[in-house]
Chains A and B, each alone.
Chain A
Amino acid sequence: MADHTCNCGGNGANSCASGKPSTPESGKVDRRSFLRKSVVMTAGLAAVAASLAPLRDLTDLGSVDQFLQKHYKELTPAEMEKALERIRGEVSRQYGLRPHLRDLKPMDGVEFVYCLNLTRCVGCRKCVHACVAENNQSRSPEIQYIRVVKMPNGTFDMERGDHTYAPETVPEKGFFYMPVQCHQCKNPPCVKVCPVDATWQEKDGITVIDYNWCIGCRYCEAACPYFARRFNFATPSIPKDQINANMSYLGNRPRQKGVMEKCHFCIQRTREGKYPACLEVCPTGSRKFGNILDPNSEVSYILKNKRVFVLKEEVGTLPRFFYYFDV
């Protein structure tokens, strides 16, 4: 360091701004170079500060409690009650009504199965819209759990399906309609790929998502062969007067931006013994739901007596959603 003659305050030859030995008379920083450098520094700092401008819009940050909340399976009853109370507060603030929110557990001796009659379905999409209303899905941008695919008669090639049909009346001659939603697989690929265990299969067969644990990587969306999972790319928007106050923690409570969601067989209804919303609205009675472990249930009767079809059976997902035919 003995031969270091630079006066810029650096401790090595290369850290000197000008990179050359200074003249003896520049022993102190001269006024002109100080001003010059400070203007550049100010401009640089201003640019950095301005580039952080998008943070000004970051108003929907969750609370500290939400950030520190544990995984669903690790929550004690007291912690769960605290989380529920926090969510009730959030919903009241955002939508102006206090929800009937609770954490419904699976029932003993129950495994849910869904059957859909392809002979009867006319493709009216009422199930799609009843589902949106029941499960507090975002209206704009639109999130729908059920996709009704119009298929030409004589094929099950999904590539030939059309989900944007809009004729005056349905059904159209020469086509059949196949609503597709989460199949609640017994061997679910979406659960296998989740890196954080934010989605899992409950003992009644419903694959659920902890919206507070999901990191939004969308692996599950890619893994699902049924296009059943939806991602909240934007903050969901639901009109205040259309919110469904009957909510379940793992079900239809409002979701936040950046998390996955999907059909959960209307957990807030079915775990209280009721039929799902899509079933009740279906004008043709094509949709059947029940407990497969009960030999007298409707779904047991269908699986015993009807011609049943499993969508994409070859991928080995073992769905709990069956299509069947009357004749």
Chain B
Amino acid sequence: MNTNAKESLVMTGLAVGFFGLAGAFALTLWAKPLEPVVNPPTPPDFTNTATVRQSPAEIYRTEGDTSGFSCYSCHDAKKKLEIHLDTNGEAILAEPHKDLVMRHGRKNRNDYCFNCHDAKNLEQLRVNEGQTFKLTEGNRLCGSCHGPTYRDWERGVHGRMQGFWDLSRGASAKSDCTSCHDPHAPSFPPIKPGPRPHALHPEPAAGETPKHTP
């Protein structure tokens, strides 16, 4: 092979190689950008700041439905209220109170209506010592038994706070006991957790271990 033919071959090879590269670069045949991940939006329940329930004080304040607090629209004020027990020793509740669940206290032993409600005036609350409170003053009734928790609550350490930490700039609002706790079953109810962190890669199939957790 003479030198001219050799040079010709090298040059043709180079040209083909370069054009191939140019084409590959232009079409980005490798290192294609990954499809962007699009995560589903978080349901708005997980960002709203509402309490899990509403206390009577809150219902009055927000002008909600207070019909449930007027006991004497059904009960007779003149007649003494008596509690009838079934054979298991459970109170027999009238139809409007059927959904009531009593789970208060260790072993649910604080299960007597008139431990907290005033038997003489059903629209009032009453502690054992005889002091009575309005329905909207429930916090003090709770505090009559739960002293340390009430002390923490007064200092803003137990329970929810909203507003301003700097009281010179604005007010901070505590929540009532019954804004979070059902007085008849006070332990905080189990709730649905928010979505977990999304993996950077598609979720693995069942039984497969994830390659990478976020």
Contact = CB atoms under 8 A, between A and B. Distances in A.
B158 interface: yes
B39 interface: yes
10 contacts: A43-B16, A47-B22, A124-B193, A133-B47, A140-B36, A142-B198, A170-B190, A274-B165, A282-B160, A285-B180
Interface of B: 3, 7-8, 11, 14-19, 21-26, 28, 36-39, 41-42, 46-49, 51-52, 152, 155-166, 168-170, 172, 175, 180, 188, 190-198, 200, 213-214
Contacts of B25: 47, 50-51, 53
Given A53-B25, A274-B165, A46 B191 contact: no
Contact of A285 (B11, B160, B192): B160
Contacts of A33: 7
B28 A53 contact: yes
Interface residues of A, number: 71
Interface stretch (A63-71, A158-166, A192-200): A158-166
Interface of A: 18, 20, 33, 36-37, 39-40, 43-44, 46-47, 49-51, 53-54, 107, 110, 120, 122-126, 128-130, 132-133, 139-142, 144, 147, 163-171, 234, 237, 239, 242, 270, 272-275, 279-285, 288-291, 297-298, 301-302, 305-306, 326
Nearest to B16: A43
Given A50-B26, A124-B193, A129-B47, A275 B7 contact: no
B197 A166 contact: no
A46 B19 contact: yes
Nearest to A239: B41
B18 A273 contact: no
A171 B192 CA distance: 9
B37 to A, nearest CB: 5
B196 A47 contact: no
Contact of A126 (B7, B11, B46): B46
B47 A289 contact: no
A33 to B, nearest CB: 8
Contact of B195 (A40, A125, A297): A125
B166 A129 contact: no
A165 B191 contact: no
A285 B51 CA distance: 10
A258 to B, nearest CB: 16
Contacts of A110: 166
Given A141-B200, A285-B160, A291 B166 contact: yes
Nearest to A271: B166
Q: Which of B21, B170, B193 has the most CB of A within 10 A?
A: B193
A18 B41 CA distance: 65
Contacts of A164: 196-197, 213
Given A43-B14, A44-B18, A273 B166 contact: yes
